[in-house]
Structure 1
């Protein structure tokens, strides 16, 4: 069956596709897309059903560096960040690390709860007459401070 049809196309610089047909072209032919079996069925009125099988072979995923990805996102490109982890693979044991095996006495299997008690008291002596520096943790305007004090006092009075 030789199907002749027309399509109003816009030329785009694409490397992965030959043509993109939109809903305006697909609707009159009652197109059914089966993504699982890779079949496209055209149920053309007053004609027999036409089935097309995809011959598209997906290319390898394009991998870009994080620097390039950051630059593209900065230019306004949409991005989707994902982290994939294989839950079936067990994490490596500590014995499989060569450095740990070589210095086994440095890596005990169980650690005590608290560090050992030290016999030296550490003291930092300051000069006579010096006082700790007093800096308020939060700066607040005097008007806000008086309002805050009033609110706290009101809550305490309840």
Structure 2
């Protein structure tokens, strides 16, 4: 969480990103100056799509909690739910130390003592909220954590696993019935 020109923003530390990004929404909403990139950049998103990036913002100063930071090169990209992604370029420049077991990132900006950011402890029970509630809370300045998971284990679903269908196995048989025989046919009209 942070603020950029008094606007609450969602900041994501992303060790999987080589570059840092700012949302097109932030750029437009705050009328930030942009520079055209010398070469178009094709970015692969975590969900498999590709996005062409043609602009960047330089020397953007924002607050992350009490820490004032500068991002020297943020590439402008359309994003949902995240306003700034700080990739390895920014993390390296700010001497980020990541302690996975402690769920902590420590930043050491020049001339200041290290600032530590903590994630939610694993033993703390978290409540499930809707996406709308989460978005509202994020905009109010509550901390948020974005995780992208991908699973490969495809399990065959059985009719017994479906909540309502499993209660009526005689109505929903495993196979389709074969052709039926007609015992008698009454063609008279009433």
Per the TM superposition, whether the score is higher than 0.5 is: no
TM-score, with length taken from structure 1: 0.33
Greater RCO structure (CA 8 Å; 6+ sep) = 2
More strand as a share of residues: 2
Larger radius of gyration: 1
More helix as a share of residues: 1
